[in-house]
Amino acid sequence: MQCVKEAVILAAGLGSRLGLNMPKCLVEIGGKAIIDYNLELLEDIPNIYVVVGYEKDKVIKHVKKVRNDAIFIENSNFASTSNTYSLYLGLKYVKEPYLLLFGDVIFNKNDFKTFINNCNDETVVGLTLAKSEEAVFADVGKESLMIKNFQRRPPTGYEIAGIFYFKDIKITKNDGYVFEVLNKYLPLKYFLLKSYEIDTKKDLNFAVKNLNELEL
């Protein structure tokens, strides 16, 4: 994993669709918070940046128990801004290239390691089989490992997995969502992982049911 030195976790969201009144990254699955799984996967990456917002103090306190050297960046406007705004704030401290993780996703451990090993000199986007309620879908080439388009509709067989390796991707504070930024850089290389995004109650129940698939 030593080729990747920087990692950003976006953990500012409030998770209103889950109805649990807590940050999504602290939702427990299999006896551990979602962010715990990701911090364990990032244990060999020296520089970790966590963008916080909703109930930031709880998130900071929790993360420090696992990774006391993590650097925290606050998005005080988390309720009215997109994930690219959170990323924009975090990038004031991050050197390219860097790994980006959404804080509400759990990844298969072996797939994650393979993804890291595929991070070299170009941007790579993690994709997974489509299953989430609020997915951003990817249209991929049939004969190459390249993404042709990201879209909300119509659905395809793949969705964004919530993990990216960014190199030469420009992020501004006025951008929309991450997938909208990436549409400006197509075609992009992708890598397929097993992962579960926890955005709704249905997503949560599905992830709990299939937790063994992630080989945690």
Compare 201 and 70 and report the one with higher pLDDT: 70
Residue 216: inside a domain: no
Residue 1: inside a domain: no
pLDDT at 1: 44
Residue 155: inside a domain: yes
Residue 72: inside a domain: yes
Compare 21 and 205 and report the one with higher pLDDT: 205
Residue 110: inside a domain: yes
Of 5, 24, 27, the C-alpha closest to 14 is 24
Q: What is the pLDDT of residues 120-168, one digit of tens each?
A: 889 999 999 999 988 999 999 877 889 999 999 999 999 999 999 999 9
Q: Residue 20's domain spans which residues?
A: 6-209
Of 150, 152, 149, the C-alpha closest to 133 is 152
Orientation angle between helical segments 34-41 and 109-117, nearest 10 degrees: 40
Residue 214: inside a domain: no
The span from the CA of 98 to the CA of 101, in Å, is: 10
Peptide bond into 23 cis (omega under 30): no
Mean pLDDT across the chain, nearest whole number?
93
CATH number of the structural domain spanning residue 89: 3.90.550.10
Which tokens hold the place of 177? 């969502």
Which tokens hold the place of 144? 């190459």
Q: Identify the residue whose tokens are 């364990």.
A: 40
Torsion angle of alpha carbons 127, 133, 134, 140, nearest 10°? 30
Which tokens hold the place of 65? 């128990």
The span from the CA of 41 to the CA of 191, in Å, is: 17
pLDDT at 213: 81
* SS3 (DSSP) at 138: strand
Residue 60: inside a domain: yes
Say yes or no to pLDDT of 87 above 80: yes
The span from the CA of 54 to the CA of 31, in Å, is: 22
| Number of folded domains that form the chain | 1
> Which amino acid, residue 106?
I
Residue 143: inside a domain: yes
